[in-house]
Amino acid sequence: MTNDPKAPAVTEVEKHGIEPIPAADRTAKPLDLFRLVFGGANTFATVVLGSFPILFGLSFKDALLATVLGVVVGGLILCPMAVFGPTNGMNNAVSSSGHLGVHGRVVGSFLSLLTAFAFFSISVWSSGDALVGGANRLVGLPQNAVTLSLAYGVFAVLILTVCIHGFRFMLWVNKIAVVAASLLFLLGIVAFAGTFDASYAGTFGQGADAATNALFWPSFIGSALIVMSNPISFGAFLGDWSRYIPAETPKRKVMAAAFLAQVATLVPFGFGLVTATIIATEAPAFFENSDYVGGLLAVSPAWYFLPVCLIALVGGMSTGTTALYGTGLDFSSVFPRFSRVQATLFIGSIAIVFIFVGRFAFNIVQSISTFAVLIITCTAPWMIMMMIGYVTRRGWYDADSLQVFNRRQVGGRYWFNRGWNWRAMGVWIFSAVMGIMFVNVPNQFVGALGNLAAGVDLSIPISIGLAAVLYPAVLWLFPEPADAYGPEGPRFVRAAAPKNIPIVDEKKDLESVLS
Q: Which of 17-26, 38-47, 311-320, 467-476 has the highest mean pLDDT?
A: 467-476
For position 1, what pLDDT does the model report? 44
Determine, yes or no, domain membership for 133.
Answer: yes
* pLDDT tops 90 at residue 438: yes
* pLDDT tops 60 at residue 387: yes
* pLDDT tops 70 at residue 128: yes
282, containing H or E segment: helix 266-282
Determine, yes or no, domain membership for 166.
Answer: yes
Determine, yes or no, domain membership for 70.
Answer: yes
Ranking 53-57, 331-335, 446-450, 498-502 by mean pLDDT, the lowest is 331-335
For position 280, what pLDDT does the model report? 92
Determine, yes or no, domain membership for 293.
Answer: yes
C-alpha 468: how far from chain center: 20
Determine, yes or no, domain membership for 388.
Answer: no
For position 3, what pLDDT does the model report? 46
Which backbone phi and psi does 465 adopt, to 5 degrees?
-60, -45
Which backbone phi and psi does 54 adopt, to 5 degrees?
-70, -40
Q: What is the band of 14 on the pLDDT scale with cuts at 50, 70, 90?
A: low
Average pLDDT over residues 442-448: 83
What is the domain extent for residue 248? 25-373
Q: What is the band of 10 on the pLDDT scale with cuts at 50, 70, 90?
A: low
- For the chain, the average pLDDT equals 87
Determine, yes or no, domain membership for 461.
Answer: no
For position 366, what pLDDT does the model report? 64
**How many CB atoms within 10 Å of residue 494?**
13
Coil, strand or helix at 290: coil
Average pLDDT over residues 485-495: 95
Q: 254 or 173, which is more confident?
A: 254
What distance separates the 2 farthest-apart alpha carbons in the chain? 79
Q: Which residues contact 437 (CB under 8 A, 6 or more apart)?
A: 447, 448, 449, 450
Coil, strand or helix at 78: helix
* pLDDT tops 50 at residue 101: yes
Percent of the chain surpassing pLDDT 90:
47
Q: What is the band of 17 on the pLDDT scale with cuts at 50, 70, 90?
A: low
Determine, yes or no, domain membership for 353.
Answer: yes
Q: 369 or 392, which is more confident?
A: 392
User: Angle at Cα 333 formed by Cα 331 and Cα 5, nearest 5°?
Assistant: 100
* pLDDT tops 70 at residue 476: yes
* pLDDT tops 90 at residue 394: yes
Look at the chain and count its residues: 515
- Domain tally, the chain: 1
Q: Burial letters for 321-353: b for 16+ Cβ neighbours within 10 Å, e otherwise?
A: bbbbbbbbbbbbbbebebebbbbbbbbbeebbe
For position 261, what pLDDT does the model report? 96
Determine, yes or no, domain membership for 365.
Answer: yes
Q: What is the band of 270 on the pLDDT scale with cuts at 50, 70, 90?
A: very high
Question: What are the CA-CA distances from residue 13 to residues 163, 331, 381 (Å)?
Answer: 9, 18, 35
Long-range Cβ pairs for the range 393-398 (8 Å, 24+): 393/98, 393/484, 393/485, 393/486, 393/490, 393/491, 394/485, 394/486, 394/488, 394/490, 394/491, 395/83, 395/87, 395/251, 396/485, 396/486, 396/487, 396/488, 397/87, 397/88, 397/95, 397/98, 397/486, 398/98
β-strand partners of 417: 420
For position 508, what pLDDT does the model report? 67
Kindly report the CATH number assigned to the domain that includes residue 156: 1.10.4160.10
- Give the β-pairing of 480-481 and 495-496: parallel
Q: What angle, rounded to 10 degrees, do the helices at 292-299 and 266-282 form?
A: 70
For position 179, what pLDDT does the model report? 86
